Amino acid sequence: MTVPRAFIFDMDGTIVDNMAFHTKSWLAFFERRGHAIDADEFFRSTAGRQGHEIMRTYLDAGLTKEDAALLDAEKEELYRELYAPHLEAVAGFEEFIATAQQEDVRLAVATAAPPANIVFTLDGLDLRRHFDAVVGAADVARGKPNPDVFLLAAERCGVAPEHCIVFEDAPLGVEAARRAGMRAVVLTTTLPAEAFAEFDNVVKLARDFSELDIGELFATTPFTQQAQ
C-alpha cells in the first residue's frame, strides 16, 4: 500500500509573488498612524504571523480582538487594492501541482492570510479546486512560527507530518514547518538563499516551481523534529 504524501503550500510569497505589495500596504497603514518601520526588518519579523499578532506588537499589546480585526481589515483592503492588477501565480506553479496530482500527491494551502485574502488569491486565480485542504488564519489560534497551520493541513489531508513537504518563502514559515516535523522547500521570491542557512529541514531552494522535481523532493530524508 502506498503511503499518503502531501505538499503543503504557504500562499503569500509562495503561490503568488506578492510580498512587496504586502510590505507597501503595511508601510502605508503605519504611515497613517505616524509610525515609520524598516521594511526589511519588518518582513523578517512578521511574515507568517497573523494580522492581530502584528497589530498588538507594533501598535498596542492591549488591543481587543474586535479592534485588531478592524485594523487588520483596513490593512488587507489596502493590500488587495495594490496587488489586484498584478495577481498571478509564481512561474511553474500550475504545471507543478498538475504533475503532483497525477502522482497522487495530496495538496493543501496553509497560510496566515485572513479569509478575504484567501478568496482574493485562490478564487481570483481559480486555484482552490486543486486543493484537498485550505487552512488559514481563521482556522488556528496561533500564527507561524508555531506549527499549528501546517499540522492542521496535514491532518485534513490525512497525511503524517513526515510525509509532508512544505513550500515557503519566509524564515518564520520554515521554522513552523521544522516544528511540525516537516521538510521544507524554499522559494527565494522574497529573500536570498542565505537567509535560510540555519534551517536543517530545508531540502531545496528554488527561484520558482519550474526548477523543482517531485521525485527528487520525496527522495530526500524525512525530517523528524517533533512539534513544539
Q: Which of the residues are catalytic?
A: 10, 12
Identify whether the C-beta of residue 181 lies closer than 8 Å to the C-beta of residue 22: no
Look up residue 133 and give its three cell numbers: 485542504
Closest CA to 22 of 33, 30, 37, 12: 12
CB of 37 closer than 8 Å to CB of 57: no
Beta pairing class for 5-9 and 105-110: parallel
174: part of which helix (H) or strand (E)? Answer: helix 171-179
Please give the sequence-ordered ranges of beta strands (E in DSSP) within 50-121, or none if there are none. Answer: 105-110
Q: How far apart are CA 16 and CA 80, in angstroms?
A: 13
In contact, 153 and 181? CB cutoff 8 Å: no
Q: Are 138 and 118 contacting, i.e. CB atoms less than 8 angstroms apart?
A: no
Helix H or strand E segment including 70: helix 65-83
